[in-house]
Amino acid sequence: MIMVRSRTNGTRHGKRQWKWMKILLMVVLLVPTVSFLSENDAQAAAPNRPFPQQVDYPGIIKPAHVTQSDMNRSVSAYYDYWKSKYLKHDLKSLPGGFYVKGNITGDPDGFKALGSSEGQGYGMIIAALMAGHDPEAQTIYNGLFKTARAYKSSGNPNLMGWIVADDVRAQGHFGSATDGDLDIAYSLILAHYQWGSDGEIHYLNEARKMINEGIKASYVTNQRRVNLGDWDSKNALNTRPSDWMLSHFRAFHEVTGDPVWIEVIDNLYQVYNQFSSRYSSATGLISDFVVEDPPKPAPEYYLDEFKETNQYYYNASRFPLRIVMDYAFYGDPRGKAVADKLANWIKSKSGNKPANVKNGYKMDGTPIGDYATAVFVSPLIAAGTANGAHQTWVNAGWDWMKNKKEDYFSDTYNLLCMLYLSGNWWIPSGQAPEPVENLALNKPAFASSIEGTGFEAGKAFDGNLVSRWASNEGTDPEWIYVDLGSTRSVSGVKLKWEDAYAIQFKIQVSSDAGGTPVHWTDAATISNGDGGEDEITFTPQNARYVRMYGIQRGTPYGYSLYEFEVYGEN
């Protein structure tokens, strides 16, 4: 309630003043109680992609039992609640600085922690996506960015220190945490596409500087993993799967042109596949921290966080959203394969009821938690969007999520998942790419040799990024080809290598009639292959058969492909 008191001298003057005070009272009551507008907001840029964007992504389902308008209203209402509870701008040590108020784990080194770089990154993404619903979104965003820059890391000033405290001594005092900086840099790209970079902050330049001089310089390891902070080593093998923000890395690649981000994506998918095949083949789960090579769960109490750092716990719980977004936004089937595995497991484990999800699991799916919380439930609902078979799960999940209100961590991640599920998290560089059919999917396949049972040629054409074809070890040349069933116009292939890759190889095509091709034409020749994912385009060729002909191996082993995809015209 707003109370206005007035002292007057004389009846006529008093009545006139009371009349004006009543008008003033009516105006004040019309102003929202949570407002951050300043004198400069008249100059705020109009949003280019105002909420709601309600994008539909190829191959992705949304809740089907409610309308898009209903989803938009639920997101708006949840955002309003979140904003009023967690978004603050009361820093005496940094006037105009905004932060997301939240609890932390770890030692605040004598300071009173108000928030973290993690929360700062979440808040900046949310503010950029909610512009249009919230007229104060750019003011909020710029205030959050001001805090991120003021509270720079003690290790790399292009990054943010992981603690926000209302003390100037905290600015530049703390080292960084990878997750917050990845979200902050990504949010700057969102901000550029939302408001443009002609205002007080050149969002795109700030993003590029942070990506190149901060994140790449401090977080991308020599082995193409992402480490834990700017205090960590460039040779580190320890990594946090909740930091595997693959769609962020694709956005980094698009604004910098740096191929390192594709290398990181490819390597992290390999790390996941190696880890899951050994420790979580039935569930798809991954531990809070992953260490060593070959990858394995970190020990208990890793970095003194808590006992369950070797399990699927409060860090790894965020992983399913990060992985499914790579499929939703960029169409990578590896993301779909992981999301499907997770969704299939949790549906069975919970009896298809989101309220039965527990806050923590061992790698084999044994519960270690005892209740449902949004930071565990909502990302697993998001994973279900990659497959229409999970429609009931996604519907039930939305109903569970939209009214769930808990604490900073769960509520904030719940809101991010709601933005994704409702189609209101858009690709910063443009719209979703049109899906292109893989002409080789599940087609008959043949190879010069196989390493043994389970490594047959067809494994490279089954759409499963866990299975693979592998040739005999130590021999050259070796080859694998697919029969498309009829002659097609073929113009490109994707090869997704296991660690055993080719340095020199050819892509060859044939349109021979009959069951066994004899005459092959070279469509492309590669002499500097380095593994990972090769996307090779060439002049369109009429072909029924497409072959990878390996000439020189890159390892002492054989050749091995998770997937061999073929593209062209149907």
| pLDDT 10s digits, 88-146 | 999 999 999 999 999 988 889 999 999 999 999 999 999 999 999 999 999 999 999 99
| pLDDT 10s digits, 315-332 | 999 999 999 999 999 999
Quote the distance between the C-alpha of residue 79 and its chain's center.
20
How many C-beta neighbours within 10 Å does residue 395 have? 18
Cβ(414)–Cβ(122) below 8 Å: no
Domain with CATH 2.60.120.260 in the chain: 445-569
Cβ(271)–Cβ(290) below 8 Å: yes
Q: Of 34-43, 293-302, 461-470, which one has max mean pLDDT?
A: 293-302
| pLDDT 10s digits, 444-479 | 999 999 999 999 999 999 988 778 999 999 999 999
pLDDT at 430: 56
Across all residues in the chain, what is the average pLDDT? 90
Active-site amino acid positions:
179
Here the tokens at position 53 are 């964007």
More confident residue, 44 or 361: 361
Domain with CATH 1.50.10.10 in the chain: 68-421
How many C-beta neighbours within 10 Å does residue 263 have? 18
- What is the DSSP track for 458-506? GGGGSS-SS--EE--TT-S-EEEEEEEEEEEEEEEEEEEE-SS-EEEEE
290-291 and 445-447 strand pairing: unpaired
pLDDT at 43: 58
Cβ(253)–Cβ(259) below 8 Å: yes
Q: Where are the alpha helices (DSSP H) in 113-177?
A: 117-130, 137-150
- What value does the mean pLDDT take over residues 506-528? 92
**How many alpha carbons lie under 13 Å from residue 307 in its C-beta half-sphere?**
5
- What value does the mean pLDDT take over residues 538-550? 94
**pLDDT greater than 70 at residue 539:** yes
Cβ(36)–Cβ(136) below 8 Å: yes
Integer Cα distance of 213 and 250 in angstroms: 17
pLDDT at 34: 52
Q: Which CATH class is domain 68-421?
A: mainly alpha
**pLDDT greater than 70 at residue 8:** no
More confident residue, 255 or 188: 188
pLDDT at 272: 97
| N- to C-terminal Cα separation, the chain | 66
Integer Cα distance of 570 and 559 in angstroms: 29
Name residue 226's beta-bridge partners.
Answer: 220
| pLDDT 10s digits, 547-561 | 999 999 999 999 999
| Residue at token pair 């996941």 | 272
pLDDT at 537: 87
pTM of the model: 0.73
pLDDT at 437: 80
**pLDDT greater than 50 at residue 570:** yes
**pLDDT greater than 70 at residue 17:** no
Q: Which CATH class is domain 445-569?
A: mainly beta
Q: 3-state SS of the chain: helix, strand, coil percent to 5?
A: 40, 15, 45
Phi, psi of 352 (to 5 degrees): 65, 25
Identify the band that residue 165 occupies on the pLDDT scale cut at 50, 70 and 90.
Answer: very high
Cβ(203)–Cβ(197) below 8 Å: yes
pLDDT at 435: 79
Identify the band that residue 37 occupies on the pLDDT scale cut at 50, 70 and 90.
Answer: low
- What value does the mean pLDDT take over residues 80-89? 98
| 3-class DSSP state of 316 | helix
Q: Looking at beta carbons, which pairs linking 74-78 to residues 24 or more positions away fall under 8 Å?
A: 74/398, 74/402, 74/418, 74/422, 75/51, 75/415, 75/418, 75/419, 75/422, 75/424, 76/51, 76/133, 78/402, 78/414, 78/415, 78/418
